[in-house]
A and B are shown apart, each in its own frame.
Chain A
Amino acid sequence: MELINKWPEYYKKDVVSHYCPGCGHGIVHRIVAELLEEMDLGKKAYLVCPAGCAVLAYNYFDFDVIESAHGRGTAIATGAKRANPNLFVISYQGDGDLSAIGTAETIHSANRGENISVVFINNAVYGMTGGQMAPTSLIGQSTTTSPAGRNPEVDGYPLHITDIVAQFPGVVYAERVSVSSPAGIKKTKKAIRNSFETQQEGLGYSIVEVLSPCPTNWKMDPVRSCKWIDEEMVKEYKPGLLTDKREEKRKEKG
């Protein structure tokens, strides 16, 4: 009998996850590790992990990883990729990291069309610091810093940063997906594969936004968390392809 569900080559075996039950990071980590193996990229991979829950990603990833200050992932990724274009560079970031403190780095690395892949985990909250309001928090969403619910009059509106950068000529591929269901996980893997292929072909910047559950800070059980993504989060952040300029870029490159 053939063993189908193999342990990914680039995922460490001897570690216990520090992520909370029902957290989406583990799913996306596994997808990244699987794709690096399937696409034979693990040996030259360089992943920037963020300040946030995924700061310890090097405990799980069995390829080269560097840690970033809060928000600076794509600046570090830019430096590494420019210095050594042979590396396969991934910036793995959360929503506070990528769309609050790192907004400038996100916008400008995207606008320069850096040939990097960005995996953007959007769970509408600051996870590691204990559930504060993020730029991505939904209107009415209760967090530790918006206890009465996010009020746009004082807290502003949910920020759609992936939609913003998708308009840039340098952003070749952008898609929003969700890991709240098996079908969503499959789509997530496909989108990240497309992103990785974009970099492999040297076409430019790509970003995949993953709507991801944070049961602990949402104060919901894992099942309810996935339901909340499917029923509430998708109303604000509609999953789907935001841009795909790969054909265009391939023609440009000849």
Chain B
Amino acid sequence: MDKVFISGNHCIAEAAIRAGCRCYFGYPITPQNELGEYMAANMRKVGGVFLQSESETAAINMVIGAASVGTRVLTSSSSPGVSLKQEGLSFLAGFEFPAVIVNMMRGGPGLGNIAPAQGDYFQSTRGGGHGDYRTPVLAPASVQELADLTVKAFDLADKYRTPILLMGDGMMGQMKEPVVFPEPITNLPEKPWALKGRGDGPSRHHASLILDGLEMERHNWKLVRKYKEIAEQETLFELYMMDDAEFAVVAYGTTARIAKGAIKRARKDGLKVGLVRPITLFPFPDKILQKVAQKIKNFLVFEMSTGQMVEDVRLALEDERVVIDFHGRPGGIIPTPIEFSRVIHRYYRRM
């Protein structure tokens, strides 16, 4: 297929339809409205379902319904709306149902604002809802990657029977870039566990209620084994200008793009700086950080938050003798590459 020039929000919707997603449930919230609007215009053309729900809570429960019968299903929102979806995310994890949930983050807490931010890292990577579970999180950093990771999110969701979060921010959703879409998927995986009516077979049910403590514990450990397998098989990251680097920036999504611009500038000034970009935030690419830490002793974590992913970097490197610094711009402020290159200079000099 030819290249198309498309915004991030539209791109996710188109990629989802191509990935065989046939149900979309959502509620309007800025800055991701274009995603639902694209679905409204296009989902019914392919025989799929678009439904604007009465709330985020209703939307995520509609997702549960559609997922339970074996349909590839998507919902999208932005930070305050994703908070409302946490009930359903916990149930999806408990039921072990596949679904893809998009969060185009904005400034917070509360209503915050509608500018790009990365303040939902903890909520996304720590479970978010109640109970002992995690949600795998994909964090693209370009519109092309939004397309690729949307498709991957559906595949991972089905493969591991888990909800998957696709996490961007207002900038990822609003910006336009050239994209080559994958061909539409025609063969979707079988889902023998899906409820399709018992037919002539035995009846089945799905429940997250497990009253017996030992059984509940077994279920909790089963989920942990699944997350370990995902960590072993599916952890994604990018290394940028790391071959000869003596100083490593760690950033994801929008901040990783800004960091790349800043690193280019710093390189012109002779600084040996590189970037480690986590693409999966859970599972976190801790092994590559540990490998990098064999050579590099100075890390600078850069986030559009007051410091959330930096905790995962510290956990990953707790046994290494390294210095981990942090630079954050929360609240919807998008730092420029020039600003961040100055920050790199400052920490580099201290090294």
Contact = CB atoms under 8 A, between A and B. Distances in A.
B232 to A, nearest CB: 31
B71 A68 contact: no
Given A58-B205, A64-B203, A66-B205, A76 B197 contact: no
A78 B195 contact: no
A80 B203 contact: no
Interface stretch (A38-46, A130-138, A163-171, A218-226): A38-46
B68 interface: yes
B66 interface: yes
B54 A104 contact: yes
A68 B60 CA distance: 12
Contact of A68 (B51, B53, B61, B195): B61
Interface residues of B, number: 39
B22 A69 contact: no
A4 to B, nearest CB: 25
Nearest to A48: B65
A61 interface: yes
A108 interface: yes
Contacts of A44: 197, 199
Contacts of A77: 65
Given A79-B23, A79-B25, A82-B62, A64 B71 contact: no
Interface string A57-82: 01001111111110010011111111
A105 interface: yes
B349 to A, nearest CB: 54
Contacts of A68: 61
A55 interface: yes
B54 A76 contact: no
B198 A64 contact: yes
B65 A79 contact: yes
A63 B203 CA distance: 5
A148 B265 CA distance: 74
Interface in B179-225: 195-200, 203-209
A76 B71 contact: no
A80 B58 contact: no
B63 interface: yes
Given A42-B198, A82-B62, A62 B68 contact: no
A83 interface: yes
A87 interface: yes
Nearest to B62: A79
A76 B91 CA distance: 12
B73 A83 contact: yes
A84 interface: yes
Given A78-B65, A83-B69, A67 B54 contact: no
Give the most central of B67, B71, B204, B207: most A CB within 10 Å. B207
Nearest to A72: B61
Contact of B61 (A43, A45, A69, A87): A69
A75 B23 contact: no
A84 B22 CA distance: 11
Interface string A93-134: 000000000001101100000000000000000000000000
B123 interface: no
Nearest to B211: A56
A66 B67 CA distance: 11
B200 A43 contact: yes
A207 B57 CA distance: 22
A88 B198 CA distance: 11
Given A69-B87, A104-B54, A105-B58, A43 B197 contact: yes
Nearest to B208: A67
A83 B65 contact: yes
Contact of B198 (A43, A80, A84, A86): A43
A64 B57 contact: no
A80 B196 contact: no
Interface string A175-212: 00000000000000000000000000000000000000
B57 to A, nearest CB: 7
A62 B199 CA distance: 11
A194 to B, nearest CB: 22
Contact of A83 (B23, B54, B61, B204): B23
Interface of A: 10, 42-46, 48, 55-56, 58, 61-69, 72, 75-84, 86-88, 104-105, 107-108
25 contacts: A42-B198, A46-B195, A55-B209, A64-B197, A65-B203, A66-B68, A66-B195, A67-B205, A67-B207, A67-B209, A69-B61, A69-B87, A72-B61, A75-B58, A75-B59, A75-B62, A76-B61, A77-B65, A78-B51, A78-B58, A79-B64, A83-B65, A83-B70, A105-B61, A108-B53
Interface of B: 22-23, 25, 49, 51, 53-55, 57-59, 61-71, 73, 87-88, 91, 195-200, 203-209
Nearest 6 Cβ contacts at the A-B interface: A79-B65, A75-B61, A79-B62, A44-B197, A58-B205, A108-B54
Given A45-B198, A104-B55, 6 more contacts: A55-B209, A69-B88, A69-B91, A75-B58, A82-B49, A82-B66
